[in-house]
Amino acid sequence: MCKRSLFISAAFLGLVPSVWAGVAVGPFHEQKGVLEFTGEMIVRPMQPAALADEGYSATQIAKIHQRALDRLKPYTVEHNGLTDWVVMKVPSGYNESTYSTALMRSGDYEYAVPNWRVYALAAKKTPNDTLFPQMWRHKVMHSEEAWSIWTGTSNVTVAIVDTGVFTAHPDLSGGIVKGYDAINRKAEVDGGDVQDGNGHGTHCAGDAAAQGNNSLGVVGEGWKFHIMPVRAAYPEGYASFDDLLNGALWAAGHGAKVVSVSFSGVDYAPVGTTGTTIKAMGSLLLWAAGNDNRNLDMFSYPDTIVVGASDSNDQKAGFSAYGKGVAVFAPGVDVWSTTMDGGYQAWSGTSMATPVTNGVCAMIWSINPDLTPDEVQTILYNSCDNIGSPSIFGHGRVNLYKAALAADASKSLVVGVAPASLALLTGTYYSGNLNNVINGSGSGYRAKTKEVVNVGFTTMVQVNYKVTDPVTKLKYIAPDFRVQATAGPPVTAMSYIWNISTKKWQLVKSVTMNRTGATEEFSGQLSSNLANYVASDGTVKTIIRMLSPVGRRGESGTAFTGSLRFAQLVTKVSQF
């Protein structure tokens, strides 16, 4: 990356062709029916983190970023705030290669690539059949064994970003939810069209989530997943790159946990950016490797799952791309699924393998909804069958049964941790002990309040815990207390936790006890930055405070005896 100046010439602001034309990046090569120029590009400015790594100040970073956007403004079609890329027209006097060179030589951009027209990757088709025994993929993936664990429910939505979906198909209609028309940037609920004009999207939808156990045709990897149709491609089978990317982002932002795209264009950087953005939104993006038998060693996306196609003998499909950039393989030859005429056909392509993998990810999430996208991705990779060299097959061929077993084993456990010690901080000891608090027996641990000037009558008890699970496995911690006061109303009960980072007591929960002698149980959950509360030796420090406050007009509070009837620290522990 060249070092950039904080200033820019007037000539470059206008992008004068005579200055930059003829210097090629790549160059970009058009492939008819695979990747075709549209006269548009997708350009992403350098991101703040990368600029900070180069030593720029926050003020300088803001100037560089704004300059990068301003330079594109005369040609901008759309600025996507989620990913910070600009879809723009190629200026007169340039082509995609020369304009990319002009931009990249400024040092202000992460990438500048064509907004390709990309095409569906379906290859061969075979005659109709609706019988489960002919769905060979379920045999090699051990789906029947997986379904003995879980059949997949509607708690997970899969999105198919494609040519649309024939939503009335009897094997799909029970799972369809409202989708999105990415071509017109319009949600279906607002009049967007999601109906399939090609058939490719309908087949992909059935690959992932055809309804199961309904006496009809075929079955996906789960029996009752929700299906979100996203129409981003035209009936002729091609799409604008940014329509696919926009559709994928919309789906992730509207409830889809797994989003798959079965079109060309996988080896262009916006696919990786979109996968990272979608993962940050809590979902996963899958993209087809391609049907051109290429070695995709030029990239490896950490957050986008690229899928190749295997055959019934666990060999690479002859047409499938392969290599370092391909994360997993899945059945993609003679794959039976739903068609736009309401029937069924067997098609071949990485287009089919990708939604099949979509269904596997959905099954993992359906079994354990608490998993993060990274955890689902790891389970998917670790549960694959080794069918050959990783240099060709990546992590291997997906196995639904192994994935289901791993997902089931990863379920979080809710554990109650008993107090390890008590200490009275404010007030006078009256009766009770640690065992009373642990067991919820007797009258608990009781203390008489102390009057604090301008505050009221209060008592405070410190309760410490010892957590044995590593903080990295904790999903949340929740101090849980049951208290009682002999006076009122009102008495306020408050729980605090020691923040190791700030070295202060942090309020967790506060409740008002409005009835004298009433018992109140309350809990407050903490789920982020747990290392701030759990010490390296597992110690967690909490306080339960009870207060009869000074009145608004200066009336004194009421002395009372406070009782800590029960205490525990509730933890949710990941088994992953």
> For residue 308, is pLDDT > 90?
yes
Q: Looking at the predicted structure, is the pLDDT value of residue 521 above 70?
A: yes
Question: Which residue segments constitute the domains of the chain, with CATH numbers given?
Answer: 10-115 (no CATH), 119-409 (3.40.50.200), 414-573 (2.60.120.200)
The stretch 241-246 carries a mean pLDDT of 98
Q: At residue 33, what is the residue type? A: G
Whether residue 490 has a cis bond before it, omega within 30° of 0: yes
- Of 281-285, 286-290, 336-340, 483-487, the least confident: 483-487
What's the CA gap between 256 and 259, in Å, rounded? 7
Instruction: Please count the other Cβ atoms lying within 10 Å of the Cβ belonging to residue 552.
Output: 6
How confident is the model over 81-109, as pLDDT tens digits? 999 999 999 987 778 887 888 888 788 99
Q: From 367, 345, 354, 356, select the one nearest 326 (Cα to Cα).
A: 354
Q: Model confidence at 487, in pLDDT bands (50, 70, 90)?
A: low
Cβ atoms < 10 Å from Cβ of 103: 25
Q: Name the residues annotated as catalytic.
A: 162, 200, 351
pLDDT higher than 70, residue 129: no
How many Cβ atoms from other residues are within 10 Å of residue 363's Cβ?
31
How confident is the model over 354-378, as a mean pLDDT? 95
- Lowest mean per-residue pLDDT among 122-131, 206-215, 485-494: 122-131
Burial-class residue 87 by CB neighbours within 10 Å (0-12, 13-18, 19+): buried
Residue scoring higher pLDDT (108 or 24): 108
Q: What does the pLDDT read at residue 33? A: 66
- What's the confidence (pLDDT) of residue 70? 92
Model pTM? 0.69
Nearest to residue 400, comparing CAs of 207, 216, 226, 262? 207
What is the phi/psi pair of residue 247, to 5°?
Answer: -65, -40
Residues 237-255 have a mean pLDDT of 97
Given pLDDT bands bounded at 50, 70 and 90, which one contains residue 4?
very low
pLDDT of amino acid 477? 94
Rounded percentage of the chain residues whose pLDDT exceeds 70: 91
Three-class secondary structure of residue 94 per DSSP = coil
Give the chain's radius of gyration (CA, Å): 30
Question: Quick one: which of 317, 303, 157, 316 has its CA closest to 222?
Answer: 157
Per-residue pLDDT at 370: 86
SS3 label, residue 276:
helix
> DSSP string spanning 458-492?
EEEEEEEEE--S-GGGEEEEEEEEEEEESS-S-EE
How much is the pLDDT for 554? Answer: 62
Q: Among 251-265, 320-334, 506-520, name the one with the lowest average pLDDT.
A: 506-520
Pairing of strands 413-417, 561-573: antiparallel
